[in-house]
Amino acid sequence: MVAVDLYIAVRVAADGPVPGPYSMLALGMATAGTFDGTTFTRHEPTTFHCELQPISAGFVPETLAATGLDRAGLARTGTAPAVAMRQNAAWLAEQAGRHDARPVLAGRTLGHDWMFTSWYHARFGTGSPLGTAAHLDLTTLYALRAGRPLHAVTGAEMTERLLGHRAPASHVLDDALEQAALLSALL
């Protein structure tokens, strides 16, 4: 049994609130470090990024606009979801093997990102390479450490307090790298 966790920051861009009726349009991941139950060891990030073809006709215009992605363009040039999930599963396995560790997803909006990632792996891949419980919510961890109610915490506050700056809206891979840095600062 592997006794080490490999924390991987995740960020998803989607065109609606749930997978199935709506699509995951981009997936970004960045390794943050390993934790053996006592010590967190930060690692230079290794990354994964892909932009996916939409899987449905439905989308929420405001949600799509917030992604900054061209949905029609992704329908032509995006990676097919089955290919993207195979590539992501292979990347996750490679990272776990490199560190002799079990991958654990971590994110600031983890419920949303986990839901899309897990559903896409189940629907288009061979099942989630992360299991059903390998995840860590950064906002919850921050709220507990800061002694603040969860609903009073914002991503901008976390970034400013832990990293010393406010990040502008950006690309999913940039967000994943920032979240890896947030996790390192928290641990």
What predicted TM-score, i.e. pTM, was given to this entire model?
A: 0.93
Q: What is the pLDDT of residues 134-152, one digit of tens each?
A: 899 999 999 999 999 999 9
SS3 15: coil
Report the Cα–Cα distance between both ends of the chain, in Å, rounded. 23
164 φ, ψ (degrees, to nearest 5): 80, 15
CATH of 5-186, one of 3.50.50.60, 3.30.420.10, 3.40.50.2300, 3.40.50.170: 3.30.420.10
Residue 25 has pLDDT above 80, yes or no: yes
Averaged pLDDT, 157-169: 77
**Whole-number pLDDT of residue 129:** 85
Tokens encoding 53: 């073809």
Averaged pLDDT, 112-127: 94
Residue 125 has pLDDT above 70, yes or no: yes
19 φ, ψ (degrees, to nearest 5): -75, 150
Asked whether 26 and 49 are in contact (CB, 8 A), the reply is yes
**Whole-number pLDDT of residue 107:** 92
Q: Any alpha helices (H) in 21-137, and if so which ranges? A: 61-67, 71-77, 81-99, 110-124
Percent of the chain with pLDDT over 70: 97
**Whole-number pLDDT of residue 1:** 58
Residues in the chain: 187
Q: How far is CA 38 from CA 48, 73, 111, 186, in A?
A: 27, 46, 26, 14
**Whole-number pLDDT of residue 134:** 87
Residue 2 has pLDDT above 70, yes or no: no
One-letter amino acid of 155: G
Give the chain's mean pLDDT. Answer: 92
